[in-house]
Amino acid sequence: MSEPSGSNSASALLPVVPFLKIPETGDPYLEGHKCQDCGAVFIGERDNCSSCASRDHLKPVRLSNDGELYVFSIVHRSFPGIEVPYVSAVVDLEGGGTVKGNLINVEPDPEKIKMGMPVEVVYQTAPRKDAEGNEYLTYYFQPRG
């Protein structure tokens, strides 16, 4: 498990997305919602299950920080101001939940990135601030082990 970087406590940071939870005490984590009827795991909050259509049977779950790289692309052209290249990754988390994010601490070279390789979620202060100067906590994936 990684600690958020920087000297500020994580609670001083805003979450980059609503499903990144920053508790008062303890480590940040990604939150999913799990259907109590069919077991489907969704990223973020929802009321109804889009797999089995059951209503109001979804419970928040803390998603694992360990997962497996499902697929990736190496992005060489993005919108103006976005630093390239970077690795866009789709990761299946252990216990359910599929999340998209940047894969870091790898060379952006297709020969060096293996689909199926174990990765972990790490939390860091984002390199961008909003218009009011607020800082954000974001998540990344990095190779595990």
Partner 1 sequence: MSDVYILGVDMIKFGRFPETSVPKLGATAALMALDDAGLNIKDMEALYCGNLGQAGAMVGQRVLAEIGQTGIPVVNCANACATGATAFREGWMAIKAGVYDVVLAVGVEQMGKGLLGGGGPKKGIPTEGLLGSGTMPCVFAEAGMEHSRKYGTSFEQFAKVSVKNHHHSTLNPKAMYQIETPLDTVMNAEMISYPNTKLMCSVNVDGSAAAVLISERKLKEIGSKRAVKVRASILTSDPYQERNLTMPDVNTCTQQAAAKAYEMAGVGPEDIDLVELHDCFATAEILHYGNLGLGKPEDAGRMIDEGETAHGGRIPVNVSGGLLSKGHPLGATGIANIYEVSTHLRGEAGKRQVEGATFGLTHVIGLGSACGIHILEKV
Residues that bind partner 1 (CB under 8 A): 14, 16-17, 40-43, 50-51, 70-79, 82-84, 86, 88-90, 92, 98-102, 110, 115-116, 126-130, 136, 138-139
Smallest separation, CB 23 to partner 1 (Å): 19
DSSP structure class, residue 82: -
Identity of the residue, 25 or 37, whose beta carbon is nearer to partner 1 in the bound complex:
37
Q: Give the count of beta carbons closer than 10 Å to the beta carbon of residue 110.
A: 11
Identity of the residue, 25 or 118, whose beta carbon is nearer to partner 1 in the bound complex:
118
Identity of the residue, 47 or 79, whose beta carbon is nearer to partner 1 in the bound complex:
79
Residue length of the chain: 145
Contact 94, 62 (CB under 8 A): no
The candidate with the shortest Cα–Cα distance to 71, out of 44, 99, 31, 43, is: 99
Beta bridge partners of residue 14, listed in sequence order: 136
Identity of the residue, 66 or 70, whose beta carbon is nearer to partner 1 in the bound complex:
70
Smallest separation, CB 1 to partner 1 (Å): 20
Phi, psi (rounded to 5 degrees) for 100: -105, 145
